[in-house]
Structure 1
Amino acid sequence: MHVAPGQPLMVCEYCDAVYRRRTLARREVARCMRCGAILDRHQWLSLDKQFALIVAAGIVFIIANVEPIVQVSLGSSNATTTLWGAAIAMWNDQSQVVAVLAALTLFFFPLTQILIFGWLLAFARRGERAPGFRQAMVMLYYVRPWSMIEVFMLGTLVAVVKASSYFKVVPGAGIWSFGVLTLLITVFASHDARQLWHKTAGNNE
């Protein structure tokens, strides 16, 4: 196909078909004519708003990890735990594999995702590519699927409902923060991080 010099392009990651990029209308989605894969979708949040959300996600993430998840009461006995407290308890209970997976999927991977997004968006707001842009985008691509806060939320809610039959269970600030963080991550999931490639096109990495 003939392409004018400097014309923005997009390539299907599944079949390598090449298309001219155009501005999409609200709720419009571009699909590959060869394999039907989603190539692009309208981005309803500006870069400034995305940056504000990622800062909010960072603040909520800190609260979620330092505040208790639940408080369990049985008679006059009370116990509270944080995410790290639960991970340490599993490690001491000979469940090291589960403890490591919990730490990775609920702390390290989400934290890495937030930090990378924040780094990239801080420069993209000015139309610039952050130092190490290419490496950061590749890392973001591999890290995003391993952030499983949504799964943790569902599991925790099920556990709270079941435990409430035997104990008095009070959700703590940590679990509410994880709920807000899940909503923020859902919002980010609706945006294609690959947009940063062409929104900062022509600038040095």
Structure 2
Amino acid sequence: MNALQPDNRIACHECDLLMQRPQIQGDQVVNCPRCGSRLISSHPNSAERSLALALAGLILLLPANLFPVLTLEVLGRQQEQTIFSSAMVLYRDGLALVALAVLLFAILVPLCKLLLLTYLSGALHLRRRWPLLPLAMRSYQHLDQWGMLEVYLIAVLVSVVKLVDIADVHPGLGLYSLGALIAVTALSSSQLDPDLFWHQIADLGDPVERVETGHE
């Protein structure tokens, strides 16, 4: 194949069936004819939607981490817990690995995901060839599997059920922000169109770079 011509084929991620890329118009889903797995899930204005959701997520990330998730009141004494302070309590109790997991998967990974999505969708929306776009896209797709805010929220709800009999438990602004953040990140993952993103990234590069970095 001529190196200056973009590849108009697509391979199934599950069974490796190689086929011609179908023409997608509007909101459509394309499945593999051999194994039935989803190949393309097209969403109109995916870059613009992703940018709006990423910015909303970054805004929600601040109160979700800065404000208390729960406030415990026992015998007139109050204790507020944020995501970071709960990780520090686990560390002081000798559960260093659990504390590290909370810091990574409840704070750092969501932050990196939202920053990468903002970078990617901003570049595609503005049609700017910003550096390391293919690397940013690959990193986002890997990190998208490691966001565990839902697990942390479930752990908080379980703690509320166990503590409600021995203390007054008051949900804080951080808990509401965390719930909204989970909804925004889940929506951003469902609205992102990886096939469209990869092809727009390739279109921003030179013809040779399109072949080297194209759709994964």
- Larger mean CA deviation between 63-72 and 11-20 belongs to 11-20
Higher helix share: 2
Identity, in percent, stands at 27
Counterpart for residue 24 of structure 2: 23
Counterpart for residue 195 of structure 1: 196
Distance 1:127 1:10, change over 3 A: farther
Instruction: Indicate the SS of the match to 1:117.
Output: helix
Are 2:169 and 1:172 aligned? no
* Root mean square deviation, CA, Å: 1.8
Give 1:129 shift.
4.1
Counterpart for residue 35 of structure 2: 35
- Does the CA contact (< 8 Å) of 1:7 and 1:20 recur in 2? no
| 1-structure distance, mates of 2:194, 2:8 | 17
- Larger mean CA deviation between 89-98 and 162-171 belongs to 162-171
| 2-structure distance, mates of 1:73, 1:51 | 40
Structure 1 unaligned regions, length at least 5: none
Q: When the two structures are superposed, what TM-score results if normalisation uses the length of structure 1?
A: 0.89
Give 1:160 shift.
1.1
State the aligned residue count. Answer: 200
Counterpart for residue 59 of structure 1: 59
- Does the CA contact (< 8 Å) of 1:68 and 1:82 recur in 2? yes
- Does the CA contact (< 8 Å) of 2:61 and 2:177 recur in 1? yes
Give 1:137 shift.
1.5
Distance 1:115 1:202, change over 3 A: same
Opposite residue 21 of structure 1, the aligned amino acid is: P
Instruction: Indicate the SS of the match to 1:145.
Output: coil
Deviation track 1:149-202 (CA, whole Å, cap 9, x = no partner) reads: 011112211221221122110011111111001100110121333421113332
Q: When the two structures are superposed, what TM-score results if normalisation uses the length of structure 2?
A: 0.85
Structure 2 unaligned regions, length at least 5: 210-216
Q: Which runs of 4+ in 1 moved over 4 A?
A: none
| 1-structure distance, mates of 2:46, 2:117 | 14
| 1-structure distance, mates of 2:145, 2:126 | 28
| 1-structure distance, mates of 2:202, 2:163 | 53
Opposite residue 153 of structure 2, the aligned amino acid is: M
- Does the CA contact (< 8 Å) of 2:42 and 2:196 recur in 1? no
Give 1:105 shift.
0.5
Counterpart for residue 50 of structure 2: 50
- Does the CA contact (< 8 Å) of 1:70 and 1:80 recur in 2? yes
| 2-structure distance, mates of 1:64, 1:105 | 14
Counterpart for residue 96 of structure 1: 96
